[in-house]
Chains A and B, each alone.
Chain A
Amino acid sequence: MPAHDVLIIGAGLAGQRAALAAAQGGASVAIVSKVHPVRSHSVAAAGGINAAISVDDDWHSHAYDTVKGSDFLGDQDAIEIMCSEAPAEVMHLEHIGVTFHRNEQGLLDLRAFGGASMKRTAYVADITGQAILHVLYEQLMRHHETVDRFEEWFVTSLLRDERGRCCGVIARDVRSGRMEVFHAKNTILACGGAGQVYSPTTNALIVTGDGIAQAYRIGAPLMDMEMVQYHPTTLVENGLLITEGARGEGAVLLNSEGERFMEKYAPNKLDLASRDVVSRAEQTEILEGRGVGANKDGIYLDITKVPRKRTLEALREIVNIGKDFAGVDITREPIMIRPGQHYIMGGVKTDVNGATPIEGLYAAGEVACVSVHGGNRLGANSLLDTLIFGRRAGEHAAARALSMPMPSAANGQLNDDVAAIDAILARDHSGRRISEIKRELGETMNQYVAVYREQEGLEQALGVVKRLQEEAASAYVDDHGTVFNQDVLGALELGYMLDCAEATVVAAIERKESRGAQFRTDFPERNDEQWLKHIDISLGADGAAGGPQISYSPVTFTQWQPEERKY
C-alpha cells in the first residue's frame, strides 16, 4: 500500500515537472500514469514554448499578449506569474538538456507565433513537446531513488477522508488488473485535457478528461469549461495537427479563390492572429462557399512560401505528416486544413499554486484552470503553463506535506471501485457498444459546440449528452480478462468524457455572449458588463443526482483593463 507526501497523477510535462519539483522540495514522491510517461500527450506539442528571453523583450509584453489573447477572461495575477517566471524556466530546461535550436550566435533561437507581439517562442524543430518530455523523463530516470514511478496504472477515483479532503487515489495496475489504494498527503492531478470528447480532435486517444471528471465527482469546481479551442490548422483528412509554427515560419492561408483572406479579418497580424480569430475566419470562409477540396470544407495552408531547407530543418514533423497522412509534399504544394478541436482552456479551478478548493488536491496543466488562458490560449503558452504551474504545484504540495500527518481514508472506497468494475464486466450484451456512444458524443460536440454556437444547437447537444450518459450505464465490454483489459478502462473513460461534455455544454449555454473561443451567433457581441466573469460548474450537495450547478467567480485584474480586441 504505497504512501507518499506528494502523489502525482499523469506524467506529461506538468506531472513530471511537478514530481521533480516536489522531490527537490524534500518530499517523498510518486508519479502514476495510465501510459508510459513518454507516451503522454505533451509529446505531441509541436511549435514551442513562449518566454520573454530576447534582450529587447519584456515579460510584461508577453503578459499583455496573453491577456489580450484570453479576451480579458484570463486572471492577470496568474498570467503575470507565468510570464515573469517563463525565462528562468526555459533556461532550466536548457540546462538539463533540452536541445533548443540556436541562432547564428549560438543563443536560443526564437520563432514567431500567433497573437504574440514579437518573436518569443523557443523551439526544437517542430518536436518541442517531445524534446522537453523526453528530457524530463531522463531526469526522472536519474532521480529514480526519490521519485517512485507507477507506469501503466490507471486511476479510477480520488480517495477522500471522512472530512472530504483528498488523501490519495485508487488505481488499477493495467498490466495485472490489481486494484490498489495510494495514500498521499497531497495529490496533484496532471493528467491532461478532454479532447476525445470531440471527434475529430488533434488530441490523442488517451486524452479523456479523467482528472477533470474525478475532481468534479468529489466536489471540485470546474471553470471556463465552455472555452474550447479549435486550432486553425488541422488536417482535413483525419484531424491531425499542423503546427502553428508553420505560419510562424511564414506559411499563409488561402481560400478557394487564392485570396489571403486573413487580410480581411486581422489586417495587422494576418495569419498570426490569435487562434480563435483565425479559426472563425476560416469557418466563415467555408460557410460562405470559399472552402477548398471536394466538399469545399477545407482551407489551403501554403507552406511553399517557407524556404525548403528551412522547412526540412524546422518543420520536419509536418513534412512527414503531410507525406504520410495526406499524400502531400508540403514543400511543393499547399495542404488542406480546417479548424479542429485542440485544447480546452477550462478545467479544475485552482489558485496560482495549483491548489484546488478541495483540501489536499492540486491540479496543473490542461486538467487545471488557473486561469491563464481565459477565453483563448495563445500558441506555445500551453507548454509554459504545464511547466510553471506543474513546478509551483509540486513545490507547494511538498512544502505543505512537511507539516502534516498522513491522512487516513474513509472506509470502503477501494471496494466500491472494485465493485464498479466488476459490474461493468458483468453487463449483458443488451446495451450499446462503448465505441458507438463515444462516436456519437464526439460528432455531436463537433457539430453543436464548435467554432460557432447557438442556443438551440447547444440544447440539442445537452439532450444527446444526457441520453448518452444513460446509455453508457449499460454499455457492454467484450474483454473479461484482467491483463491489459483496455476495454473496461474504455468504459470508465467514457464516463469521464460524458461528465466533461456536460459541463462544457452547460457552461456554453450559460454564457450568453461571444468571447474568445465561445462565439454565440445569437449573442455575437462581447458583453463585459454582464459576462466579464468565470463560470464555475460543480456538483451540488446531492452529488451527481442533482446535476451540474452554476456559479460565478470574478476575473482578477492587475494592470490591463478590457479593451476592444483587434489583430
Chain B
Amino acid sequence: MAETHHAPEQFTLRVRRFDPESGEAPYWDEHTIELEPHRSVLEGILQAKARFDGSIGIRCSCRAAICGSCGVRINGEPGLACHTHLDHARASAKDGVIEIEPMGNMPVIKDLIVDMDAVHWKKIQRVTPWLLAKQPVPEREYVVAKDAMVDVTQSMACIQCGACVSDCLAMEVDPGFIGPAALAKAYRFVGDPRDDRQRERLVDLSEDPQGIFDCTHCFKCVEACPKDVNPMGQIMRLRRIAISDQHIVDANNGERHEAALTTLVRDYGLLHEAELPPRSYGGNSWFGKFHPAAGKELLSLLPTAVKAIARGKIGVKLALFGHKIPPADLQAVKRIYQTVEGRPERYELNLYISGEDEEERTPVGVTVGGDGGEDPAAAGEGSGS
C-alpha cells in the first residue's frame, strides 16, 4: 500500500494571461503556491485564484479527469490541468517554473479559456455524431457481440477535452482537417454494430480531402490524450476498414497509396521511395505509371523529385532501382507478410484494455505496442493484395 503523505512544497506557476477587454497583448503572470507535490496543477491554479487573484480564467469542474473542462498546455504539452501532478510538471519545466498556457489550434477567449465551439465542436458535428440505428428497432436491446461494445468504449471514453486538437500538426497546417477527436468519434459509430451507415460514413471520410487520409501519423494526439483514446489509432482503424473491408477506392488516393507502400516493402524489404508515387497513382504494376490519370499527378511531383536528387537526399541509382537488402532479410520480411495475411481475421487490439494485459496473453513475435495501428504487421494487414 503506497502511503502518499508528503509535506507541502512551494511551486511557481507562470500563467499565460489574456484580457480581451484591455486591448493589451497576452502576458505572463507568476504565482507561488504551496501544495503537496502529488497535487494537480489545477489545484495549484485554484489556490492561486483563491489566495491571490480571482480573475485568472480557467474552465474546470470535476477535478478527476472526467469532465474534460481543464484542457491547457503545461510546459508546452497539451493535457488536463487536473491530471498533471505538480512535481511532474516542475520536473518537465525548463527553468523549474511550471508554464501554463491555453491550448493551441483554437482561439483564446480569456487567459486559459479557448473557443472550443469555433473549432472542436464544429468538427465533431462534421462527422454526423449520432447513431443511425439499424431498422427495425428491436423491442429490447440490439444483440451484439460483447467485444464489439468494449471495443467502441475506447472512443466513447473521449471526454471532448480538446487536448488532441490542441497539438494536431496536420490541423496546424490544414485547419480544415477533421482532426483526431472528431475522427475518433466517427470510429465510435463505424465500429458500432448497431449503426446502419458504416459504408456511407467511411466513403464520406475517405473522399473528404480533409478526412482520414489527411492524418500524418505524427502521434501527437496519442501522446496528448489523457484518456488513452488513441485518436490516431482510431483513424488508422477507419482506414483499414475503409480499405480492406469496404474496398473504398478514394479520390485522395489513400487506398492506392497504402497498397503501394505495403507492396513495395514486401517486394524490396524497404520502402522504394521513388517508386511510391508511381505505384500510388498508377496501381500495383510497373506499367501503371503510364496510365493517363497517373501522368498528371506524377508530372506535378517531378520538381520535388528533381530537388531531392539535386540536394543529395536520394541518389539516381536508388531512385531507379530501389534498396537492396540481403536475400535472407528479404525472405524474413516476406514471411511476416505471409503470417499476417494468412490469419483468418484481422488482429485488432482491444485497446480499451490497457497494454499490460496484452503482454501477458500475446505470443512473442506478434506483440504490438499499446498504440496499435502503426506497427509493420498492422500495415501489412491493410495491403490490398
Contacts and interface: CB of A to CB of B under 8 A. Distances in A.
A294 interface: yes
Contacts of A127: 66, 153, 156-157
Interface stretch (B53-61, B312-320, B329-337): B53-61
B17 to A, nearest CB: 12
A305 B139 CA distance: 37
Interface stretch (A275-283, A477-485, A499-507, A559-567): A477-485
B156 A95 contact: no
B131 interface: yes
Contacts of B328: none
B61 A206 contact: yes
A40 B69 CA distance: 10
Contacts of B379: none
Contacts of B125: 141
Nearest to B130: A138
B159 interface: yes
Contact of A326 (B2, B62, B110, B145): B2
Given A43-B62, A313-B352, A483-B20, A175 B109 contact: yes
B360 to A, nearest CB: 9
B20 A204 contact: no
B50 interface: yes
A100 B357 contact: no
Interface in A44-75: 44, 53
A94 B63 contact: no
B149 interface: yes
B194 interface: yes
A35 B61 contact: yes
B34 interface: no
Interface in B33-64: 38-39, 49-51, 53-55, 57, 59-64
Contacts of A29: none
Contacts of A238: 39, 63
Nearest to A142: B130
Chain B contact patch, size range: 35 or more
B144 to A, nearest CB: 5
Interface stretch (A222-230, A328-336, A383-391): A328-336
Given A130-B159, A138-B129, A484 B51 contact: no
Contacts of B129: 138, 141
Interface string A418-439: 0000000000000001111001
A206 B68 CA distance: 13
Nearest to B356: A312
A101 B109 contact: no
Contacts of A125: 150, 153, 157, 352
B207 interface: no
B259 interface: no
Interface of A: 35-36, 38-41, 43-44, 53, 91, 94-97, 99-109, 124-125, 127, 130-131, 134-135, 138-139, 141-142, 151, 175, 204-206, 237-238, 240-241, 292-294, 300, 308-309, 312-313, 316-317, 319-321, 324-328, 333-336, 433-436, 439, 477-487, 490
The 3 lowest CB-CB distance pairs between A and B, nearest first, are: A435-B50, A97-B131, A479-B55
